[in-house]
Amino acid sequence: MARILSTYLETILSQSYKQVYRVLRRRLSVSAKKYEVRVRFAPSPTGQLHLGGLRTALYNYLFAKSQNGKFILRLEDTDQSRLVPEAINSLEEILIWANIPPDESPRLGGPGGPYVQSERLQHYQKYAQILLQNGAAYKCFCSSKRLTWLRNDAIRRKETPKYDNRCRDLSSAKIEKLESGRTPSCIRFKLEPVNEPLQDLIYGPVACNTAEIEGDPVIFKSDGFPTYHLANVIDDHLMGITHVLRGVEWQISTPKHILLYKALGWEAPRFGHLPLILNKDGSKMSKRQRDVFVDYYRANGYFPLALLNFITSSGGGFEDQEHNTLYSLDDLVERFSLSHLKKNSCRLDILKLQQFNRQHLEQSIKNPTLLSRLVTELHNKLKTSYQTSLSGGVCEEYVSQVLMWSEGRVTSLQDLVLPEFSYLWVRPDHHFLQNLPPLTVSHVAVLEDMHELFTNGCDNFTKDATVKSLKSLGEKFGLKMPAIMKLVRMTVGGIKEGPPVGELLALLGREEVLWRISHALSILSKHQTST
Ligand code: GLU
């Protein structure tokens, strides 16, 4: 006994010790800092937010909040040809829906604004000129024809295409001549060899030999817009970004960015790259998959918290992470640490999301405030799916009873709107009556008696009481229980299979059950008279 007690105490103490340690670690790291942590999520508005984007936004949010810092949303729309105007609003809106709202953003504004790159062109022009003046960049007059030729030539020689830096050393006289002839030009940045590895917050040291693989990158296009590299670096600096957490596909660009910071005389933020997100089978996620977009999950009744746990359960980032626990957002923030982020690719298993969603639904149903929110949400979904055909005008009390009954049967609210549950909301079509099970006696006679029993007997119309009445009915007509149950299911619900009959009747309630039986009787009698 004493041993059990001491183990128990030890467990409690070690748990609370961990919590105290986490809080202290956070406090100390915050007070030791001279600056506030500022991170950003910087999507290009080329479409709806996908799971990869949500993952980046989420980890930035968790890092910011765990450090009492700021999470910023910036839209990178310098590639105007790929712009999708609706995405400008929807990206911010979906972060709000996911409960990871930014502190500064295009809508909210903030000290580093504006937060849309096309509104910040004067900054990019200014710094591009500075880079030209200090010799870190140069004007390139190569025509697209020449660049295509260079590319094709490299491919023909089975080499990686790269710009040959031809315009790096043009004389001032030559530049003047080309400019007076109005030859279009762009600005390129001189890539210098980097000797030290990139210290990635997630991957550790990463070798960067960018200058060996690539030619000098364009930083300012002839259309007057900067490219991603220049705009991204300038904005991160002007917005005071302290840490850049982004997808690993950008790791290749980071050495270029670090060189740009150097050339501008700025201190670079710290960089961490998040590994690839893959489908469960290890295949790449494609934007052609509908279920890659966050909006798909929103429309299909998934809870934001389930979605966030779905991502963190595969991406890591937490000490002592239990993979089946649905953590609250506060818990996720509290437990987050960059050092626990995984660096191997994350495979997303949709079954995990369903499990989290079911868990969240069950917890919400048990909480009266959340239950009433679910009722409103489900009611709205019903209005959209079944329009005016809601049987007898479904009331909130009924929706709430259905929700409590549905616990453990469904994964999301949306499931309750599926055709397989339509009997809960709409009266069955009379065509179902053709599927009544064959009986040795007339259906009408049995249903008439059933109507009578349910009207005057069966006092409280509970599950047990209705089953008891049905048993006596079976005995009276010499029918076996399975036959009676089939008859009830088909008459009342229009279904061959479904929940236990007693539950179905108790859920629909006496009044509705009687209406459905009378309706079936009126159709069956009409059918009898016409044959
Ligand atoms: N605009 C880039 C994107 O669409 C941002 C990359 C970064 O975070 O630096 O993902």
Q: Which of 405, 424, 443 is the last residue of a domain?
A: 424
Which among 33, 106, 20, 94 is positioned nearest to 64, based on CA atoms? Answer: 33
310 and 392 share one domain: no
pLDDT tens readout for residues 420-447: 999 999 998 878 788 888 888 999 999 9
Residue nearest to atom 6 of ligand 1 (CA): 42
Q: Which atom of ligand 1 is nearest the CA belonging to 41?
A: 8
**Residue 420 covered by a domain:** yes
| Residue 365 main-chain phi, psi, to 5 deg | -65, -30
* Of 32 and 331, the one with more pLDDT: 331
Which among 257, 214, 210 is positioned nearest to 237, based on CA atoms? Answer: 257
383 and 470 share one domain: no
389 and 469 share one domain: no
What distance in angstroms lies between residue 286's CA and the mean position of ligand 1's atoms? Answer: 18
pLDDT tens readout for residues 106-144: 999 999 999 999 999 999 999 999 999 999 999 999 999
SS3 at position 165: coil
pTM of the model: 0.86
Return d(Cα 306, Cα 355) in angstroms, integer. Answer: 8
**Residue 236 covered by a domain:** no
Residue 529's pLDDT is what?
A: 57
Secondary structure letter of residue 318 according to DSSP: E
Secondary structure letter of residue 491 according to DSSP: I
Distance of CA 118 to the CA centre of its chain: 27
Residue 24 CB neighbours (<10 A): 10
Out of 76, 117, 202, mutate this one to test ligand 1's pocket (max ligand atoms within 8 Å of CB): namely: 76
311 and 326 share one domain: yes
Q: Which of 408, 424, 440 is the last residue of a domain?
A: 424
Q: How confident is the model at residue 10 (pLDDT cuts 50, 70, 90)?
A: low
Q: What is the CATH number of the domain that holds 104?
A: 3.40.50.620
Ligand 1 interacting residues, C-beta cut-off 6 A? 42-44, 76, 232, 246, 250
Residue 385 has pLDDT above 90, yes or no: no
Q: 340: part of which helix (H) or strand (E)?
A: strand 336-341
Which among 247, 272, 352, 274 is positioned nearest to 308, based on CA atoms? Answer: 352
**Structural domain harbouring 483:** 430-530
pLDDT tens readout for residues 28-66: 444 444 579 999 999 999 999 999 999 999 999 999 999
Q: Which token pair is 209?
A: 């030999």
**Residue 525 covered by a domain:** yes
Q: Are 426 and 389 in contact (CB under 8 A)?
A: yes
Secondary structure letter of residue 319 according to DSSP: T
Q: Are 49 and 298 in contact (CB under 8 A)?
A: no
Residues 6 or more apart whose Cβ sits within 8 Å of residue 396: 375, 376, 379
What distance in angstroms lies between residue 32's CA and the mean position of ligand 1's atoms? Answer: 30
How are beta strands 270-274 and 243-247 bridged, if at all?
A: parallel
Region class of 113: left (phi > 0), else alpha (psi between -120 and 50), else beta: beta
What distance in angstroms lies between residue 243's CA and the mean position of ligand 1's atoms? Answer: 14
pLDDT tens readout for residues 180-197: 999 999 999 999 988 889
Q: Which of 327, 355, 383 is the last residue of a domain?
A: 355
Q: Where are the alpha helices (DSSP H) in 181-227?
A: 210-213
Residue 153 has pLDDT above 90, yes or no: yes
Domain count, the chain: 3
Return d(Cα 497, Cα 486) in angstroms, integer. Answer: 8
447 and 482 share one domain: yes
What distance in angstroms lies between residue 56's CA and the mean position of ligand 1's atoms? Answer: 10
**Residue 198 covered by a domain:** no
Please report, rounded to a whole number, the percentage of residues in the chain having pLDDT higher than 70.
91
Residue 79 CB neighbours (<10 A): 15
Which among 356, 351, 352, 365 is positioned nearest to 407, based on CA atoms? Answer: 365
Average pLDDT over residues 304-316: 96
